[in-house]
Structure 1
Amino acid sequence: MKPRRAVTPLLVGAGGLAVVAATGVWALSGGLYGCTKADRELAPTLASLPILDAHPSRTRPEDERYSGCDDDDGFAYAGQYYRYTTSRADVLAFYRQAAEEDGWRLESADSSPSPAPGSLAIDTSALCFEKPVAGTTAHLTVWFPSDLGDSPGDYGLDVTASHDGAAWC
């Protein structure tokens, strides 16, 4: 009788350890941190959006299109950098029209979103648009690295989205 009493607590303890271990594996593989499988699969969809190919005639693509999933914040992203030889105002006017024609809705606009000296850059988007993409809300940002003191003559288009709502401009 005594060995039988010892087996039950051992089995319950082993089962409890298995649950704890499985929970740990789940949490480390994206359950509590990082990107979900759905968001990882969303990145190529974002990279194929036609708006990332749209640009004013006096601009040219820089480098390759990029995409992926931000494990720190848990959202999919895609983007493209461009070099411009036209005015910043012309770039912004172009995207206001091109994004609207492609079904994007203007969420916010700040033609010069430079952070205050000595402050942290929170939002450097000159234009921010929203649009439903693949069952979630995607955010399109037009931004200028020069607002952060970097790369004058360049601008970027970024699209972010997440199935859990963690994406923003």
Structure 2
Amino acid sequence: MKLKAVATLVLVGAGGIAIVAATGVWALSGGLYGCTRADEELAPTLASLSILDAHPSQTQPQGERYSGCDEDDGFAYAGQYFRLTTSRVSVLTFYRKAATEDGWRLQNASSSPSPAPGSLAVDTSALCFEKPIAGTTAHLAVWFPSDLGDSPDDFGLEVTASRDGTAWC
């Protein structure tokens, strides 16, 4: 009888270790961190949005449109940089109109979204819009790298979305 109890204990213990090991492999391979397959598949949809083609006539696209999935925060993104050859006010006025006409709803606007000195940048978008895209809520940000101390001659558009709802401007 003792042999049967020991065998049962060994089997239960081995099964428990296997479950813990499998859970660890799952967590390290993206189960608790990184992008889901659904979010990775969402990135090309975001990159094809026509709003990323819209820009004031005085501005020009800089570089290629980019897209991907943010592994740290687990959301899909797509964006485009533009050369800033008109006033910031003109850019913001243009996108308030263009985004609204494209079905985006303004969520917030900030005249000076720069983070306070010594603080972390959480939301540096000058304009933030929302719109349903492919069954989830997408966020469109109009932002200026100069608000972070970079590239005073550029501005950017970026769309983010996530199947689990963790995306933001």
Instruction: Give the structure-2-normalised TM-score.
Output: 0.93
Matches within 5 A, 1:46-85: 46-85=46-85
- Residue 29 of structure 1 corresponds to 29
Runs of at least 5 residues in structure 2 that lack an aligned partner in the other structure? none
SS in structure 2 at match of 1:21: helix
What's the offset of the Cα at 1:76?
1.1
User: What is the aligned partner in structure 2 of residue 40 from structure 1?
Assistant: 40
Q: Distance in 2 between matches of 1:103 and 1:35?
A: 27
Q: In 2, distance between residues paired with 1:24 and 1:37?
A: 19
Q: What is the match of residue 152 of structure 2?
A: 152
TM-aligned CA distance change 1:10 to 1:119, over 3 Å? closer
Secondary structure at 1:108 match in 2 = strand
SS in 2 for 1:95: helix
Q: Percent identity?
A: 79
1:111 Cα deviation after fit: 2.6
Summarize deviations over 1:101-158 as a string: whole Å, max 9, x none: 1110000011332233343322211100000111111100000011112111200101
- Residues 5 and 96 of structure 1, relative CA distance in 2, 3 Å threshold: same
Deviation at 1:55, TM superposition (A): 0.8
User: Is 2:21 the partner of 1:12?
Assistant: no
More displaced, 141-150 or 119-128? 119-128
Q: Which structure 1 segments of 5+ residues have no match?
A: none
1:66-109 per-position Cα deviation (integer Å, ceiling 9, x unaligned): 11111111111111100021111111111111111111000001
For residues 6-45 of structure 1, the C-alpha deviation after alignment (integer angstroms, 9 at most, x for no partner) is 3322222221121111111111121111111111111111
TM-score (norm 1): 0.93
5-14 or 21-30, larger mean C-alpha shift: 5-14
The letter of the residue matching 1:8 is T
Q: Partners of 1:81 and 1:17 in 2: how far apart?
A: 50
Counterpart AA for 1:76: A
Task: Give the letter aligned to residue 44 of structure 1.
Answer: P
Superposed structure 1 runs of 4+ greater than 4 Å apart: none
